[in-house]
Chains A and B, each alone.
Chain A
Amino acid sequence: AQSVTQLGSHVSVSEGALVLLRCNYSSSVPPYLFWYVQYPNQGLQLLLKYTTGATLVKGINGFEAEFKKSETSFHLTKPSAHMSDAAEYFCAVSGANNLFFGTGTRLTVIP
């Protein structure tokens, strides 16, 4: 069975600081992994995804994530936080026919 665990429902960082949002997954097959972002009163938007190939994946808005099979992790990072990054972030893993989403991490950026 597939599942996703996002460590930390709330993360606060100062503007300009490193952003690190953690995601661990469980999958019985080689997974596809995703990060989505949700801004207030909007639907989710794809930030980046890993399917095959290079394990370091770059997405929009300067975010990147690295697939580490040995650690079953897919943590999301950004070197320097911007105020506009404040949002909720969801990690997702592929199942047989659809995606399983984590419970989300709300990122607050402190000026």
Chain B
Amino acid sequence: DAGVIQSPRHEVTEMGQEVTLRCKPISGHNSLFWYRQTMMRGLELLIYFNNNVPIDDSGMPEDRFSAKMPNASFSTLKIQPSEPRDSAVYFCASSTTQLGIGSDGYTFGSGTRLTVV
């Protein structure tokens, strides 16, 4: 398996623009998580899905953020409009269980480094 695939790896956009981050989880993993990592706040859980259904989006910072998982092999995280404070590395992770107690735990993608100028 190619692992969790995220695109793009880097994104630079102007304030006010729409940004869409993409994630392809590992086949057979039915839990998917979106995290944001910054120096100031560390690793924050934004939202997670179980069997394509959003379970908890309480970590989504504002209404400008939205996430979808239309099928088991694809998820998107959208920011509209983007702001400089959204600059961070966004990770997608997938797992066979919500708690990651399977043999591989959570499998993380390589992340998308977002810079909003």
Contact = CB atoms under 8 A, between A and B. Distances in A.
Interface in A87-108: 90, 94, 97-104
A90 B101 CA distance: 16
A82 interface: no
A103 B42 contact: yes
Nearest to B104: A46
A33 to B, nearest CB: 10
Nearest to B99: A94
Contacts, number: 62
Interface stretch (A16-24, A35-43, A61-69, A70-78): A35-43
A68 B64 CA distance: 42
Interface size class of B (residues with CB under 8 A): 20 to 34
A96 to B, nearest CB: 9
Interface in A1-58: 32, 34, 36, 41-46, 49, 51
Contacts of B104: 46
Contacts of B101: 32, 49, 51, 94
A98 B105 contact: no
A46 B102 CA distance: 11
B21 interface: no
A98 B45 contact: yes
Nearest to B33: A98
Contacts of B55: 97
A55 B28 CA distance: 30
10 contacts: A34-B100, A34-B105, A43-B110, A44-B93, A49-B100, A51-B101, A97-B55, A97-B56, A98-B45, A101-B42
Interface of B: 4, 33, 42-43, 45, 48, 50, 55-56, 91, 93, 98-101, 104-111
Given A41-B111, A44-B91, 5 more contacts: A32-B101, A42-B110, A94-B101, A97-B48, A100-B45
